[in-house]
Copies of this chain bind each other. A is one copy, B any other.
Amino acid sequence: MNKVINLCVVGFGNAGQAFAKMLIQEHGNLSILTGYDVRITAIATNSKGCLLNKDGLNLNKVIESVEKYGDFQALSSDKISTIDLIKSSGAHVMIELSALSIDDGQPAISYIETAFSLDMHVITANKGPIAWCYRKLQNIANRKELKFLYETTVMDGTPIFNLVKYSLPGTKVLSFKGILNSTTNFIIEEMELGNTYEAAIKEAQRRGFAEADPSLDVDGWDAAAKTAALANVLMNGSLTPMTVDREGIKNLTPHDVKEALNAGKKIKLLCEGYIENGDVIGKVRPVLLDEKDIFSRVDATSSILSVTTNLMGEVIVVEKNPEIQQTAYGVYSDLITLLKL
C-alpha cells in the first residue's frame, strides 16, 4: 500500500492544466517510481474558483469543467482566498503556478512563505520568487528541512538547476550566458526576414507567446528576471531584476538587423552572469554574434544556456521549441526529485 502525497496547486492556467493532465497520464508510473500515490487535494485560482477535497479531486472532472466553461462551475467551488485555501488544504506539497509579477515577485512569495510556515514542501514554476527572494526562501526551507524546487523557472523542464545540482556535483559556476527570451528572439528573426518591429510583435501575439503588453519582453524584464534567478541560485548572487544591467531590443531597427546579417552576424538578446571584483553581476543586452557561433543558431522559441564551471569548463544546454507540455514536465520532474531524493 503506497503512502499518499497531497498537492495544493496554486494557479490553474495552461501550465496547471497541462500538469494535471500529466499527473493523470503518469499516475501509475509515478507510483512505481516513487512509491507514492500522488493526489491533488486543493486548487486555488483568482478567476476560476477554488477547489478542496481532502480525499483527492477528480482531475478528469476538473479539466472537463475548465475546458467546457473556463472555470470550476461544474464542480462545488469554494469562495475562499488563496492563502486561506493553502492553510486549510492540509497538503504535503504546494505547487505554485501563479502569474508572474515582475515588480516584486508577489503574491507568489507570500504563498510560498505560507506553505513553508505550514511545513509544506514547495515547487514553483514562477521566476518571480527566485529572482526577487531566493536566498530568504531557501534559508527558510533549509531551516525547516523542507524542499524547495524551481526547475521550471528558466527554460521550462530543461534541466538547468537540477543539472548543476545533481549532474555537475562539486563544481563552482564561474559564469553563464544564455538566450532565454523567446519573444525578443522571434521579433529579431522576423526583422531579419524583412518585417517591421511592429508587425513582428503582432505576429508573436497572434501565435500566443507575446503578451498584450509586450514591454515585459522587449524591455528585457523577463530576461532580467531569468538572469537574476540563475545568478542567485547558481552563483550565490544577491540580484533582483532591478539590479541586472538591462537593455532591451526597443532601439533595434530592421536596418541594424539587416546590416548585421550582411556582415555574417546575428543580433541576439543575451543574458549573462559573471563575477567582477568579487561581485556577481547580471547583464541583459543585444549582442552581435558570429554566424559560426552555436548561439547564433538558436531559433525563435528555442533557448540556450552555457554554464562555465571551475572543474568542467563549459557545458551548453539547448531547449528546442518547447510547448506547454515542457512546462508541465518541469513541475513533474521536480515532484519526482522531491519524492525520490
Contacts and interface: CB of A to CB of B under 8 A. Distances in A.
Given A294-B294, A294-B297, A333 B26 contact: no
Nearest to A159: B167
A168 interface: yes
Given A311-B26, A316-B317, A341-B341, A333 B293 contact: no
Interface string A7-39: 000000000000000100010011001000000
User: Which one of A296, A313, A337 has the greatest number of beta carbons of chain B within 10 Å?
Assistant: A313
A318 B320 contact: no
A170 B326 contact: no
Contact of A170 (B159, B292, B333): B333
B332 A311 contact: yes
A297 B318 CA distance: 13
Interface of A: 22, 26, 29-30, 33, 157-159, 162-163, 166-171, 292-294, 296-299, 306, 311-320, 322-323, 325-326, 329, 332-333, 336-337, 340-341
A311 B21 CA distance: 12
Given A297-B297, A341-B341, A315 B168 contact: no
B158 A337 contact: no
Contacts of A169: 33, 333, 336-337, 340
B170 A30 contact: yes
A170 B317 contact: no
Contacts of A171: 329, 333
A329 B211 CA distance: 43
A121 to B, nearest CB: 16
A340 B169 CA distance: 10
A74 B279 CA distance: 46
B33 A170 contact: yes
24 contacts: A157-B311, A158-B312, A158-B315, A159-B163, A159-B167, A159-B168, A159-B315, A162-B167, A166-B166, A166-B167, A166-B337, A166-B341, A169-B333, A170-B333, A292-B297, A293-B297, A294-B294, A294-B297, A294-B298, A306-B320, A311-B332, A312-B325, A312-B329, A315-B319
